[in-house]
C-alpha cells in the first residue's frame, strides 16, 4: 500500500511537472467555429450539430510543455492531422506564425475522437500542444 502511494505520488508529480497548465477551448465559440468549417454546407452548423461539436470541444485543451520535458510525451505534429476542408478551401493548419490559443478552432481538424487514450498534437515551431482527452466509456 505504501509503495502504491509513493508510485501514485511520483506519477502525479511527473504529469504535473510536464504539463504546467491546461487551457480549455472556449466552447461558446462553437457557432463561430462551425460556421468557419462548414462554410459551404451550413446544414452541418445547425443547433443539433453544435451540441455534438461542443461535446468534442470539451475534450480539447491547449497545454504548454517545455522542450526538456518532451521525452515524456508521445505526440503527433498538428500539421500532419488532415483538415476538414471540404466545405472551406481556405482552412489552414495552425503553425508557429499564426497560432493563437484563445481562438484555436479544433473543428478544423480530423481528430480521432474515438480512442481510449489521451492524444497530443504539437503546434509546429511552438511548445503548445493540443491535448485530446480519451473517450470515456460507461
Partner 1 sequence: MTVLSAAPTGWDAEIVVYSGASCASLTNVDCIDNGGSGTAESYQFTPANGTRYYIYVAHYSTSGSSSNTGVVNVGRTCPEVAVAGGQVCSAATPFCSGSYLFPNVTGTTAQSGPDYACLYSQPSPVWYYMEISTAGSMIMNISQSDGSGNGLDVDFALWGPFTNTTTACSQISSGTALPIQSSYSASSVETMAIGATGGSNSICSHGNGQTTPPSAAVGQIYVAMITNYADDPGFITFSQTGGTGAANCAIVVLSSPINFSGEFENNKNVLSWELFGELENITHFNLLSSIDGEKWQLVKKIVQDGTTSNFEVTDERFVKNKINYYKLQSFNKDGVGEESDIISIDNRTEIPTLIKRVNLMGQEVDDQYPGLVIYIYSDGSTVKQINNTK
Minimum distance, C-beta of residue 85 to partner 1, in the bound complex (Å)? 9
Cβ neighbours around 101 below 10 Å, total = 16
DSSP string, 24-85: E--GGGHHHHHHHHTTT-GGGGSHHHHHHHHHHHTTEEEEEE-GGGGGG---EEGGGSPB--
Is 50 or 95 the residue whose CB approaches partner 1 more closely? Answer: 50
Minimum distance, C-beta of residue 44 to partner 1, in the bound complex (Å)? 7
Minimum distance, C-beta of residue 66 to partner 1, in the bound complex (Å)? 29
Identify the residue among 24, 80, 115, 134 touching partner 1 (CB under 8 A).
115
- Is residue 4 near partner 1 by the rule CB under 8 A? no
- Is residue 86 near partner 1 by the rule CB under 8 A? yes
Minimum distance, C-beta of residue 4 to partner 1, in the bound complex (Å)? 12
Kindly report the length of the chain. 138
Cα(18)–Cα(67) distance, rounded to whole angstroms?
Answer: 10
Q: What residue ranges bind partner 1 (CB under 8 A)?
A: 40-41, 43-44, 48-49, 52, 82, 86-87, 110, 112-115, 135, 137-138
Amino acid at each position: 500500500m505504501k509503495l502504491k502511494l509513493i508510485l501514485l505520488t511520483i506519477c502525479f508529480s511527473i504529469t504535473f511537472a510536464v504539463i504546467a497548465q491546461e487551457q480549455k477551448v472556449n466552447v461558446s465559440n462553437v457557432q463561430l467555429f462551425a460556421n468557419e468549417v462548414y462554410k459551404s454546407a451550413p446544414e452541418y452548423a445547425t443547433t443539433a450539430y453544435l451540441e455534438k461539436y461542443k461535446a468534442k470541444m470539451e475534450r480539447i485543451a491547449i497545454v504548454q510543455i517545455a522542450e526538456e520535458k518532451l521525452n515524456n510525451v508521445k505526440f503527433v505534429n498538428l500539421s500532419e492531422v488532415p483538415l476538414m476542408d471540404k466545405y472551406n478551401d481556405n482552412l489552414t493548419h495552425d503553425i508557429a506564425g499564426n497560432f493563437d490559443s484563445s481562438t484555436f478552432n479544433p473543428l478544423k481538424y480530423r481528430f480521432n475522437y474515438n480512442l481510449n487514450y489521451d492524444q497530443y498534437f504539437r503546434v509546429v515551431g511552438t511548445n503548445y500542444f493540443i491535448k485530446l482527452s480519451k473517450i470515456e466509456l460507461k
